[in-house]
Structure 1
């Protein structure tokens, strides 16, 4: 892991595969898009190796391997924001995870508002025919898919990269962006 506390100024690529992450302290949902950034698909749900002893930091090898095998060019990490736009402890955790992910994989990483992704994921699952057990296992990956679809659509709509750069936070993980 790169222990340098400064974040490299890497531009977010305009092409190539993006992986999105629905961060959780126990499970992390992951989705990925095609190189042309047209379709997003749920990839998997990763169980944090040691959720009670250091959390995701013990999963460095997993994320580096995933990035290499899936030819990921950048990450989008969901940022949990309240309906009123305020942030919580979960927001700070997601920002810290995004910074860590960037440092260990050396890939550009953006934060993107994940409001309502779990609701949308539940709606998607209800449309299909899955058992309750399968639904619980897949919900985080589908939430990551919804996040990635929203990010890609926002980029197309705005004509620029959506979300927030990691440099938009201070050393305590607090947002510097309105």
Structure 2
């Protein structure tokens, strides 16, 4: 994936909200972009479609939650399904990145919507791992 060049969108998938961050392969810096809060799955994918059309990413990164020991749970499988749907619907390569510790980093901002910041941490982790 390191030979890709261009914009990357990252997602912190949740049942109620999807945090979105953006970065590019040149600067390798992630920035929070938006939070998708549509009530239905179709509504969420309509919003995602608009973002993908506007940003034209070369890659999507999705945070993969697991238990602290790395074992999967219900949200692990839901995020994997979301990643496959992104890849299938938009014909974009998709990478899963371990997000186990992003929520711990963001706990200081409790009470605020932090999903886009979590997505930025996920994307920054991707950039740091692919140097």
Of 69, 72, 78, the match for 1:93: 78
CA RMSD of aligned residues (A): 1.9
Q: Matched residue pairs, number?
A: 131
Which residue of 1 is the match for residue 10 of structure 2? 20
Q: Per-residue displacement from partner, 1:94-140 (whole Å, max 9, x unpaired)?
A: 001111111111111011100111122334x4xxxxxx7xx522x11
Could you say which structure has the greater relative contact order, defined with CA pairs below 8 angstroms and 6 or more residues apart?
A: 2
Which residue of 1 is the match for residue 124 of structure 2? 149
Normalised to the residue count of structure 2, the TM-score between the two structures is 0.90
**Greater Rg, structure 1 or structure 2?**
1
Q: 1:12 to 1:36 in 2, by over 3 A?
A: closer
Of 34, 49, 52, the match for 1:67: 52
Gaps of 5+ in 1: 1-10, 51-55, 126-131, 157-178
In structure 2, what is the Cα distance between the partners aligned to 1:13 and 1:93? 29
Normalised to the residue count of structure 1, the TM-score between the two structures is 0.67
Counterpart contact for 1:23–1:77, Cα < 8 Å: yes
Q: How does 1:135-146 map to 2 (within 5 A)?
A: 136-137=112-113, 139-146=114-121
Q: Tell me how far 1:35 sits from its aligned partner.
A: 4.6
In structure 2, what is the Cα distance between the partners aligned to 1:105 and 1:21? 14
Gaps of 5+ in 2: none
Counterpart contact for 2:103–2:118, Cα < 8 Å: yes
In structure 2, what is the Cα distance between the partners aligned to 1:12 and 1:60? 27
In structure 2, what is the Cα distance between the partners aligned to 1:12 and 1:86? 28
The DSSP-based 3-state class of the residue aligned with 2:130 is helix
Q: Tell me how far 1:89 sits from its aligned partner.
A: 0.8
